Chain A
Amino acid sequence: MAFGSPLSFTDTMPIVSPGFTGRRQSPDVELPPGQYLAEDFPVLTAGPTPRVTTDRWQFTINTEAGLRYDWSWQQLIEMPAEKITTDIHCVTKWSKLGTRWKGVSLDVLLEDVETAADFALVQSYGGYTTNLPLEDLIDGQAWIAYRYDGEELTPEHGGPARLLVPHLYFWKSAKWVRGIQLLLEDEPGFWESAGYHDYGDPWREQRYQGD
């Protein structure tokens, strides 16, 4: 497993205690180029925080052929969930280590979806969008996360649910996620259409177009 990859484990496995100090110290860790270690969890937002109640929350996958698949909140939380412990890297240069999430793998949500798409445009309540290759959403790399650090995901951090795709810069992990449009051609999202990189690999420091 490459450094920085998420560790995924089932609900029944014990969480290993990080020890008395509770934190890994910065000299011992390797961060992606240009990143610094954050101990807090900065809140970034491009607009007012949407307040989406779970009774009207819905997650939808639309395919390139016009097929539509959707899930209510109740359906989501009744699906098999995973606990994920992972490092996250924001393009504004902070990284946070060992963040703990719970959510449903996109592998589960995409299991019965018929598609020939290569790309995904992720859509959020509030209008935010972000694009990435579909292959980066599968094979245990992405989740619809609804718990953070043992608590319900707060609206400030994207609750009730956000995308978690931690191997890419964190702007790809769309807060307040409401759906995914599957596409045959890549379509730039909110930041990608204003200078940011279409892929955004922190280990290759793909911050801006042309990086």
Chain B
Amino acid sequence: MTHVDGNALAGDLREIFAVDLTVATGQCSGCGYKGSVASLRVYQNAPGIVARCPHCEEVVLRLVRGRDRAWLDLRGTVSLEIPLP
């Protein structure tokens, strides 16, 4: 099963956050890798969206959409550095 890059997260994350998070810099809690959200490996053929670290393949972000709710699990992310205008 192939993955796509983190730009695929743009629409779903924009619905939750007021800024484009794909340009944010995240740090992986597994290996410490720092890179843009757009550089993550995204698996979409699943019950939710799973974004993995391009360096160690650890899960850094999970997003599940219900009918009227979304769950965002960021336990694999140490921090997100978000550029502000």
Q: A residues engaging B (CB < 8 A)? A: 42-49, 91-92, 127, 156, 171, 190-191, 193-196, 207-208
Contact = CB atoms under 8 A, between A and B. Distances in A.
B34 interface: no
Contacts, number: 54
B31 to A, nearest CB: 14
B1 A49 contact: yes
A42 B45 CA distance: 9
Given A46-B59, A195-B70, 15 more contacts: A44-B45, A44-B47, A45-B46, A46-B48, A47-B57, A92-B47, A127-B59, A171-B47, A191-B48, A194-B62, A195-B48, A195-B66, A196-B64, A207-B66, A208-B69
Complex A-B, nearest 6 residue pairs according to Cβ-Cβ distance, in ascending order? A195-B71, A195-B64, A208-B66, A46-B50, A194-B73, A194-B62
Nearest to A42: B45
Interface residues of B, number: 20
B49 to A, nearest CB: 9
Contact of B45 (A45, A48, A91): A45
A48 B1 contact: yes
A47 B45 contact: no
A43 B1 contact: yes
Nearest to B48: A194
A193 B73 contact: yes
Contacts of A193: 73
